[in-house]
Amino acid sequence: MLFQREKYFVVLRNMAQNVVVLLSLVLFTTFVSDNKTDYLIPVFPENPSEVLHPDYLGQSLEGLIRHYDEVLKVSVSDNKTPGAAIAVAYNGEVRFMRGYGEKRKGSADPVDNHTAFRIGSVSKGFAGILAGLMTHENVIGWDDNIAWYLPDFHHCDSSTFKKITLKHILSHTSGFPVHTYTDLLDDNIPVNLILEQLEHVPFCTKPGMVYSYQNVVFSLVDEVLRNSSGKDYAYLLREKIFYPLPMKDASSEYVSLIMSDNYASPHLRAGHTWIPVNNNPRYYSTVPASGINASISDMAQWLLALTGYKPDIIPPDVLEAVFQPVVKIPMRRSVKRTWMNAEEFSYALGWRVIRAADKIFVFHSGYVQGFRAEIGFCLQDKVGIVMLFNGNAHFINDLLPSFFENLYQFSLWEPSSLQMQGI
């Protein structure tokens, strides 16, 4: 009788494994065969509990990784992107990391794990963590008024400006109009000249009331940290984050990128092809908002730290403070479409936060001319993904949310079963 039960269990296990493979093939076939769209379409079984036992989570995660590996291979071979890189982390380990395509179209120089990309607004997450480290060291406080640290900045509405705190800046709740003077950054106007004009911009709300996305205003954290610590922002990034993790290819200067012997060129879409363009210095004047360069190897280490596996470098209380939602964001149709189970959308300190069922996902996207970056992770289950591209394409929009949609609906995530297996 015992032998029969064991034999029956083996049969069930093999059936489940075959289903995993079959579903992965269905997902991949859906992606490559749909000529009407160029983005990943998630495919889920109607009742996942009938398909996979939670003991097979590790296998389903590996299957999903293989699927994304194929997706990025196809995206390069089908000219959907010139180059890309991906890393997946779980349970304190980098489970997968790879580069795809070319650094510069037509060069035959492949993207590898140490190719540096610009990560755009994914830089904002570094600003939140760096500020958190400085508050942890009691150099500055979340509720400190930034006016204390900006003695040369004289806003026309001084009484309102004096109410803006560090937390307001990092959560985009300063009260300034949305995207104040981002257009001047696009024109490569020096940030010191932009700040002179910022002094005359009227507030649209009181600080702390409304989410209003910023780049220039967000980057006031640069001056705040400089004047509170006596060290410039780039130095603090290296001292507190880049060197300790270690992020060996990371930098926050234009010169550092172009002097590197391994960096990706940005590309712009022209019909059915990609045109490489030269890297430019735009947005490096606002490093906290959008000025970091990093390789996928760097970002994998960053992902481990964000999921709590570098507590000696980024303490748990810092992560908890930074990821705590500050302001709710109205869920537009595009958010509901890509995050299909989203119940609440918020902004924390340099990070977006989505609550779906009983899971909390922290994430951010980044874009500067010719580059795109995506990073996201689940707080409870310590699983995350990061992707870098040297060309912006529509199919990228759905890759991050689809990863978690597939992982959770399709594999019945239950950490307790993983712990028993020692995965």
Helix (H, G, I), strand (E, B) or coil at 80: coil
Q: Are residues 188 and 283 in the same domain?
A: yes
- Return the pLDDT at 58: 57
Q: Are residues 53 and 124 in the same domain?
A: no
Contacts of 406 (CB under 8 A, 6+ apart): 27, 42, 44, 64, 67
Q: What is the Cα gyration radius of the chain? A: 22
- Return the pLDDT at 407: 86
Helix (H, G, I), strand (E, B) or coil at 417: helix
Domain holding 287: CATH number? 3.40.710.10
- Return the pLDDT at 243: 98
- Return the pLDDT at 340: 75
In degrees rounded to 5, what are phi and psi of residue 332?
A: -70, 170
Q: Are residues 10 and 123 in the same domain?
A: no
Q: What percent of the chain has pLDDT over 70?
A: 82
Q: What is the pTM of this model?
A: 0.84
Under-70 pLDDT residues of the chain? 1-59, 409-423
Q: Are residues 8 and 128 in the same domain?
A: no
98-128 pLDDT per residue, tens: 999 999 999 999 999 999 999 999 999 999 9
Expressed as residue numbers, the domain containing 22 is 1-80+395-423
Tally of residues, the chain:
423
- Return the pLDDT at 421: 27
- Return the pLDDT at 148: 97
Q: Are residues 270 and 356 in the same domain?
A: yes
Contacts of 353 (CB under 8 A, 6+ apart): 323, 325, 345, 346, 347, 360, 361, 362, 363
- Return the pLDDT at 336: 80
Token couple for 414: 């239950």
- Return the pLDDT at 10: 38
- How many domains does the structure of the chain reveal? 2
What is the DSSP secondary-structure string of 291-329? --EE-HHHHHHHHHHHTTS-TTTS-HHHHHHHHS--EE-
- Return the pLDDT at 16: 44
Q: Are residues 178 and 76 in the same domain?
A: no
Q: Are residues 111 and 100 in the same domain?
A: yes
Q: Are residues 47 and 138 in the same domain?
A: no
Q: Are residues 60 and 139 in the same domain?
A: no
Q: Are residues 132 and 218 in the same domain?
A: yes
- Return the pLDDT at 59: 61
69-78 pLDDT per residue, tens: 999 999 999 9
